[in-house]
Chains A and B, each alone.
Chain A
Amino acid sequence: MNYNDVEILFAEDSADDAALTIRALKKGGLSNTIFHVKDGAEALDFMYCRGEYATRNIQNHLKLILLDLKMPKVSGTEVLEKLKSDPAFKIIPVVILTSSKEDPDITRCYELGANSYIVKPVESDNFFQTIKDLSMYWMISNQPPH
């Protein structure tokens, strides 16, 4: 796979959530290339073109990062903090996707520079609609920096 084609990075540890989210995005008509990583460590490797992703061109900017908060190894919050404190990446919009309204980190996420914070609905219709709306907004309505 050519990592340089990737426009959206999607970090999600749950395979089911990932599958449903990707389906929702596709069904919503998203045509951009999405790349799914299974935890925060992998997300950072991808961003910094390390290990498996050494071939990726770091200059090749992404259009959006979708970040789950609760992930093994490196959490979504830590990934967010790292990226938003790096001048090279801080301009990339980051949307937090989380399962819970109870997340104690919502304020912290905004403080760290998250661009959006979305609680994934349990009910499928709502879920699909929410994901569709977010892709429409960030990929079409919203004007990215590049």
Chain B
Amino acid sequence: MKFSSDKKNLFFFSIAGIALVSVLVIFYFKIQKVKSTNDWVEHTQEVLRKSDNVLLDVLNIETGSRGFMLTGNEVFLTPFYEAVIKIGNDITDLTILTKDNPSQQSRIDSLKKAGEDGLVFMKQSIEVRKKNGLMDTEKIIASGNGKNLVDKIRSIITDIDSEEFRLLKLRKSENEKSVTSSELIFVLLLVFIVVVLAFVIVVINNQNTKNKLAEKEKQTSQYSRSLIEASLDPLVTINSDGKITDVNSASEKITGILRKDLIGTDFSNYFTEPEKAQAGYRQVFEKSFVSDYPLTLKHKSGQLTDVLYNASVYKDNNGNVLGVFAAARDVTEQKLADKIIIERTTQLQSVNKELEAFTYSVSHDLRAPLRAINGYAKILQEDYTEKLDADGIKSLYAIQNNSKKMGTLIDDLLAFSRLGRKVVPSSEINMAVLVKSVREEELLNNPKEIEFEIKELLPAKGQQALIKQVWVNLISNAIKYSQHKPKTKIEIGSYQKNNQVVYYIKDNGVGFDMQYYSKLFGVFQRLHSQEEFEGTGIGLAIVQKIIQRHNGTVWAESKLNEGACFYFSLPTINS
């Protein structure tokens, strides 16, 4: 059975109220009972007083009559007569007081009769005294009849009294019991009321806390709501039947339909592909969520919006699924951007293809005529030397030299452009072995004595063939630019810096002027003349391009005629 918190409170207050009222009612009746007991005590005392009066009257009557009879003095008869009148009233009062008690009534009847008998006897005795004098009167007194009558009355009154005493005792003890139980009940009542009060206080306090919590919850919910409303993404909750249970204003905007008209309708109604939308939220109920589910939202005007839905189920405190919360992200711009990226990629690819075709063409078509020039010059040299003079032969050599140089230039240029296009996977390079092999190759081509000092070379990550090209270019440069020195000294080493390994190669050659440093790595840029040092000016440009493709850096320092030191960095094997 479930109660809402309000109903629960009402229930407890009713129980407390009913309990309190019943206790008050019980208390009231108890008080009434005590009060009636008290009344009875008073009543008993009244009866006793009246019976005492009757006894007093009897004594007055006896005393008065005796006095008169002994003295004949009429003075004694005054209290006698007063008492005669009074005793009648007192007995009547006593009758009225004890009318509820039949045993007392019968005693009072006896008392009344005895009294009347006594009065008759007293009046006769008084008459005898008045007529016959003291002598006869003594006889009457001596007979003891008068005394017997008084004793009888006295005995009856004693009975009445003892009955009343018995009743009084009974009622007093009842009264005491009643008072004691009343006190007990009163204390219990107090305790009960205190308990009820405490309970009520606790309940009210609880209620206040609950109210405060509810207020806080309300504020939180208002805060959440304002966040939901502030969202530019259309947000919606869906029940298990696929009906919309709530939306934010972004949903109104994107569909052009008011919140009240959206709520209660089928979620799938608002998409170009309702089945796909249904499949989407069913998937959420099955898998608890979906990510980036593509759909197209329909505005009532017909305008379409491409969205990606991210949705998850939401649950109550017991983990029961209540529905699906779904957020749509307008991806129109993203799609547009994607389209542009695809277009540009296509363009780039076609440009790249054109470039490849161009490279092929350059390679093929420039080399063919060069080969012809070179070949025919060779024919001249072989078959017609005797017909040429010294200048002619010199010119022939110049033609061959230049066409050969142009061939090298073309090859270098193509090699450089190839670097930008090839993608070769990186691997760990044993740099010590690589440098050793390059050194051996270079030594084969150079008869001059070269002193190599190779220090520890750390391994690095890279494309071995390309890095080999770097070492070939740098070592051959070092040899080339040191060739005019009496002895060539080359030092090669490495050190680690952050996540990179830095390699260096130091020579004792001609060096370069640092003011032209900016031209050092430029394509076809040379800091020395062809006559001084041969070259196409592509070697260092290739080095730089290869190192940059490895996310490394290349730099150099030198002083003219004091040698040069080239550095380059590569990622370590762990990076």
Which A residues are within 8 Å of any B CB, using their own CB? 14, 16-17, 20, 23, 70, 98-104, 120-125, 127-128
Residue of A nearest to B371 (CB): A122
Besides A101-B414, A121-B407, 19 other A-B contacts (C-beta < 8 A) = A14-B372, A16-B369, A16-B375, A16-B376, A17-B371, A20-B371, A99-B371, A100-B364, A101-B363, A102-B359, A102-B414, A102-B418, A121-B371, A122-B403, A122-B410, A123-B407, A124-B371, A124-B375, A128-B375
Nearest 8 interchain pairs by C-beta: A122-B407, A124-B378, A16-B372, A100-B363, A20-B375, A102-B363, A100-B364, A124-B374
Which residues from 413 to 428 on chain B have a C-beta closer than 8 Å to any C-beta of chain A?
414, 418
User: Mind listing 19 A-B residue pairs with CB under 8 Å?
Assistant: A16-B371, A16-B372, A17-B371, A20-B371, A20-B372, A20-B379, A98-B364, A101-B411, A101-B414, A102-B363, A103-B364, A104-B356, A120-B367, A122-B370, A122-B374, A124-B375, A124-B400, A125-B378, A128-B378
How close is B351's CB to chain A, nearest CB, in angstroms? 16
Q: How far is the CA of A101 from the CA of B363 in the complex (A)?
A: 8
Judging by beta carbons under 8 Å apart, are A102 and B360 in contact?
Answer: yes
Which chain B residues lie closer than 8 Å to A101 at the CB level? 363, 411, 414
Residue of A nearest to B374 (CB): A124
Q: How far is the CA of A127 from the CA of B379 in the complex (A)?
A: 12
Per-residue interface assignment for chain B, residues 100 to 124, with 1 indicating a CB less than 8 Å from any chain A CB and 0 otherwise: 0000000000000000000000000
Judging by beta carbons under 8 Å apart, are A120 and B360 in contact?
Answer: no
Does B480 lie at the interface of the complex (its beta carbon under 8 Å from any beta carbon of A)? no
Which chain A residues lie closer than 8 Å to B360 at the CB level? 100, 102-104
Judging by beta carbons under 8 Å apart, are B377 and A102 in contact?
Answer: no
Does B368 lie at the interface of the complex (its beta carbon under 8 Å from any beta carbon of A)? yes
Judging by beta carbons under 8 Å apart, are A23 and B368 in contact?
Answer: no
How close is A27's CB to chain B, nearest CB, in angstroms? 8
How close is B431's CB to chain A, nearest CB, in angstroms? 28
A17, A70, A104, A122: the one within 8 Å of B404 (CB): A122
Which chain A residues lie closer than 8 Å to B367 at the CB level? 99-100, 120, 122
Q: How far is the CA of A70 from the CA of B410 in the complex (A)?
A: 19
Q: How far is the CA of A19 from the CA of B262 in the complex (A)?
A: 85
Which chain B residues lie closer than 8 Å to A123 at the CB level? 374, 403-404, 407
Which chain B residues lie closer than 8 Å to A125 at the CB level? 378
How close is B336's CB to chain A, nearest CB, in angstroms? 35
Residue of B nearest to A98 (CB): B364
How close is A13's CB to chain B, nearest CB, in angstroms? 10
Which chain B residues lie closer than 8 Å to A100 at the CB level? 360, 363-364, 367
Judging by beta carbons under 8 Å apart, are A70 and B364 in contact?
Answer: yes
Which chain A residues lie closer than 8 Å to B371 at the CB level? 16-17, 20, 99, 120-122, 124, 127
Residue of A nearest to B356 (CB): A104
Which of A16, A20, A23, A100 has the most chain B CB atoms closer than 10 A to its own CB?
A: A100
How close is A48's CB to chain B, nearest CB, in angstroms? 28
How close is B384's CB to chain A, nearest CB, in angstroms? 14
Q: How far is the CA of A19 from the CA of B400 in the complex (A)?
A: 18
Judging by beta carbons under 8 Å apart, are B368 and A99 in contact?
Answer: yes
